[in-house]
Chains A and B, each alone.
Chain A
Amino acid sequence: MKKPKNKKVICAMSGGVDSSVVATLLKKAGFDIVGIFMKFWTMSKKNDLIGERNKCCIPEAEDRAREVAKILNIPFYVFNFEKEFKKKVIDYFLTEYKVGKTPNPCVVCNKKIKFGLLLKKALTLGADFLATGHYARLQKRADGIHLLRGKDKKKDQSYFLWQLNQKQLKHILFPLGNYNKIQVRNLAKKFNLPVLDIPESMEVCFIKTTVNDFLAQYIKPKPGPILTIEGKKIGQHQGLPFYTIGQRKRIELSGGPFYVVAKNLKENTLIVTHFLNIKSLYKKSLIAQNVNWISNKEPKLPLKIKAQIRYGHRIVSATVTKKLKAENFELTFTKPQRAITPGQSVVFYQNQELLAGGIIAS
């Protein structure tokens, strides 16, 4: 990192290991740091919002973040984003499930909250940059800023950042992009940060137990028939939002296992099969909607890429074949892919670089 001269950085601090190390690294590098803790969700049901508490931004986490800020001797403030988070993230999440999709709320949160609202506030406060603990790298080149995978392959979070644009990237720092998690933990130890015993947060922050438990609170179950591919009724499902394409869990029928092949929203039927690798679970192509090219420039098509159709999934060879209407693009895989799930993000890589991403259409 270059030695900064009076550069002001707002650092998003969650009280976890990663963001605490980020704040410390930047402080040591000589930046003028302000720590911000974001409250996403603490409303009680009484207030007609969400009953359960977000498991990340709990008071203990806030206290830890404040403690780290105190150790670093930096100003620290708490921003309350409850309302916006509910509106932009939770409502989106529920709406998507209701129409049979499997959304990815973190992608939306990054765009609208962390690098939307918070970035805007940071700039309003006169900051030059907003720093977070994401495992991803940014590279400034003559033609703009490039977004690369984090060096730690296991932790890489570039998948969640595909909706960012050049305007945002210009003001973002990902200081952990070149570290792996073990190094970060060791740094926290070395810096004596009071965050060592905190478990890794991996799942969606507002899901306390399972997605279905969460959905059950807000979506009225609408049971319907479970059919085989041949159209034979073999049981009853609990409501289509509770099932995801390709899944085997929760189909409580004897004579299993069964796998979800399709959800027919019109008929309210769940189509299942005995066969893990049945052909109809495989698709050769998909349509990516609302595609965002990080460079802000559409490349020439067809374009050979590596695609990832869900977080943590392996990458596979594919070609972006053509642009359809609006920002929709058609993607063809070299080999057919199992359980392509509408609502999830598909992202395009070339080597280490994340070129673009979109939402998988139904």
Chain B
Amino acid sequence: MKKKIYLDYAATTPIDPRVLKIMSPYFSEKFGNTMSLHSLGQEAKQALEKSRETIANLIAAKSDEIIFTSSATESNNLALKGIAFANQDKKNHIIISSIEHPCIMESAKWLETKGFEITRLPVDKYGLVDPENVEKAIKPETILVSVIHASNEIGTIQPIEKIGKICKKKKVYFHTDAAQSFGKIPLDVNKMKIDLLTTSSHKMYGPKGAACLFVRKEVKIEPILHGGSHEKGLRSSTINIPAIIGFAEACKISQKEMKTENERLTKLRDKLIKKILKTIPNSYLNGHSKKRLSNNANFWFEFVEGESIVIQLDLLGIAASTGSACSSAKLEPSHVLLAIGLKPQQAHGSLRLSLGRWTKEKEIDHLLEVLPKVIKKLREISPFKKN
């Protein structure tokens, strides 16, 4: 069988071999528990703190502001629920955007059942939140604003710095879910006035099972996991050292290669977008043409189902996605695509192609050759097509 082409880096990435190499001694030789007194434990603790420093560096934070978790979902749950419950004595209002990842959407929905008030900000047709709307939505009861940095589905990058400044001025906590952008776009929590920030390792060539939440020192937050007081009491659990070591190494590599990699991917992405819109009739770009992640392209095609495209591509050896990996098992149209104004039928015709470290130009060329044929064929037998 021919080598598969992977164009679903936004769902997850393969681990970088350099990362894997660094991790391996931590499974069997340096396997200590960071809470142990003996030297094995101390060795682990040291490695943990070094990793913390590396990750803090990447976003200009202090290292004791980094809380390790198991996933971006956990980080986002901690951010929303932890802030909500720590501050509920005085305030009960939280603002999110309408294109957050399900773990924010669902956490907010759950908080609503616990008596919190949630405002979901609209976005424009590119998926952009208007900072003015943030300012208007903030009221005396507002505790927190949470806006995703870059959309996992359509790649739109939000004006985070402007929103951060507004939150700072209004004295409201500001959280951003940077799971997709961390390691791809420069982030500075001070310059951007971010109080909490979610990252993830497996979206940037690190292992699964590691993530972190940046929590600015003065932020009042409560844990959602209680136990042995790891991570300053904010996240009890035995520390997953190998994964965190790998996460930190992945950060180092990303920091070093970010600029050149971004330039390379932007070129590939733009070629992909331009050619698809040109060669496939009735195709449209979802999201913004410039303000988007360098590795994300998302389209909708008239008269076809995204699911059929994905399966057809898979049968041809190309891995792609209809939307986020989390929603592809559902039949519901993506809430992100509906929020940018697509009709359910249009949202069902969407395809996300996300590129990454090992994407080669000839792979993009191959896709550009195959996709128009696939769409054409699907349209010929499409049940939607009106003559």
A contacts, CB < 8 Å to B:
34, 75, 77-83, 120-121, 123-126
Q: Are A124 and B383 in contact (CB under 8 A)?
A: yes
Residues A34 and B331 in contact, CB atoms below 8 Å apart:
no
Contact with A along B319-330 (1 / 0, CB 8 A): 000000000011
0/1 interface trace, chain B 351-387, chain A, CB 8 Å (1 if under):
0000000000000000000000000011001110000
Tell which of B308, B311, B329, B383 touches A80, judged by Cβ atoms closer than 8 Å: B329
CB pair B314 A80 closer than 8 Å: no
- Chain B residues near A124 (CB-CB < 8 A): 305, 308, 378, 381-383
Contact A80 B331 (CB under 8 A): yes
| Residue B312 is within 8 A (CB to CB) of chain A in the complex | yes
- Contact call B377/A126, Cβ cutoff below 8 A: yes
In this complex, how many residues of chain B approach chain A with their Cβ under 8 Å: the count is 15
Residues from chain B with Cβ under 8 Å of A126 in the complex: 312, 377, 381
Q: Note all chain A residues with C-beta closer than 8 A to B312.
A: 125-126
Query: Is B330 a contact partner of A34 (Cβ separation < 8 A)?
Result: no
In the complex, A123→B308 CA distance in Å? 10
Residues of A within 8 A of B381 (CB): 123-124, 126
A34-B315, A75-B315 known; 14 new pairs, CB 8 Å cut-off, are A34-B311, A77-B311, A80-B329, A82-B331, A120-B383, A121-B308, A124-B378, A125-B308, A125-B311, A125-B312, A125-B315, A126-B312, A126-B377, A126-B381
Most buried by B among A78, A120, A124, A126: A124
Nearest CB of B to A175, in Å: 22
From known contacts A123-B381, A124-B378, A126-B377, infer whether A80 and B330 are also in contact, taking CB-CB under 8 Å. yes
Across the interface, name the chain B residue whose C-beta is closest to A81: B331
Interface string of B34-57 (1 = CB under 8 A from A): 000000000000000000000000
Nearest chain-A residue to B378 (Cβ)? A124
Show 21 residue pairs from A and B whose CB-CB distance is below 8 angstroms, ordered by the A residue. Answer: A34-B311, A34-B315, A75-B314, A77-B314, A78-B329, A80-B329, A80-B331, A81-B331, A120-B383, A121-B308, A123-B381, A124-B308, A124-B378, A124-B381, A124-B382, A124-B383, A125-B308, A125-B311, A125-B312, A126-B377, A126-B381
Instruction: Give Cα distance in the complex from A14 to B377, angstroms.
Output: 28
**Cα distance A170–B108 in the bound complex, in angstroms:** 50
A192–B226 Cα gap in the complex (Å)?
47
Q: Which chain A residues border B329 with CB–CB below 8 Å?
A: 78, 80
Interface centre among B311, B330, B378 (most CB of A within 10 A): B311
- Closest CB of chain A to B203's CB: distance in Å? 24
| Chain A residue contacts of B377, Cβ below 8 A | 126
Closest to B314 in A: A75
Question: Which residues of B lie under 8 Å from residue A79 when comparing CB positions?
Answer: 307
Contacts of B330 in A (CB 8 A): 80
Q: Quick one: CB contact mask for B327-359 with A, threshold 8 Å, 1 for yes?
A: 001110000000000000000000000000000
Cα A17 to Cα B330 with chains together (Å): 27
Please name the residue on chain A nearest to B374 by beta carbon.
A126
CA separation between A82 and B331, bound complex, in Å?
Answer: 8
Closest Cβ neighbor of A75 among chain B residues? B315
What's the nearest-Cβ distance from chain A to residue B311, in Å? Answer: 6
4 cross-chain pairs, A with B, having the tightest CB-CB distances, nearest first: A80-B331, A124-B308, A124-B381, A120-B383
Q: How far is the CA of A82 from the CA of B314 in the complex (A)?
A: 24
Residues of B within 8 A of A83 (CB): 331
CB-CB nearest in chain B for A39: B329
Q: Report the Cα distance A121→B304, complex, angstroms.
A: 11
Chain B residue contacts of A34, Cβ below 8 A: 311, 315
Distance to closest chain A CB from B324 (angstroms): 15
Q: How far is the CB of A72 from chain B (nearest CB, A)?
A: 15
> B42-86: which have CB < 8 Å to A?
none
Give every chain B residue within 8 A of A75 (Cβ-Cβ). Answer: 311, 314-315
A243 to B331, CA, bound (A): 36
Q: In the complex the two chains form, what is the Cα distance from A77 to B311 in whole Å?
A: 8
Q: Would you give the shortest CB distance from B21 to chain A, in whole angstroms? A: 30
Residue of B nearest to A77 (CB): B311
Chain A nearest CB, measured from B319 CB (Å): 12
Nearest CB of chain A from residue B308's CB, rounded to whole Å: 5
Bound state CA distance, A124 and B307, in angstroms? 11
Give the nearest-CB partner of A79 in chain B: B307
Distance, CA A125 to CA B374, complexed state (A): 10
* Residues of B with C-beta under 8 A to A80: 329-331
- Cα A78 to Cα B311 in complex, Å, equals 10
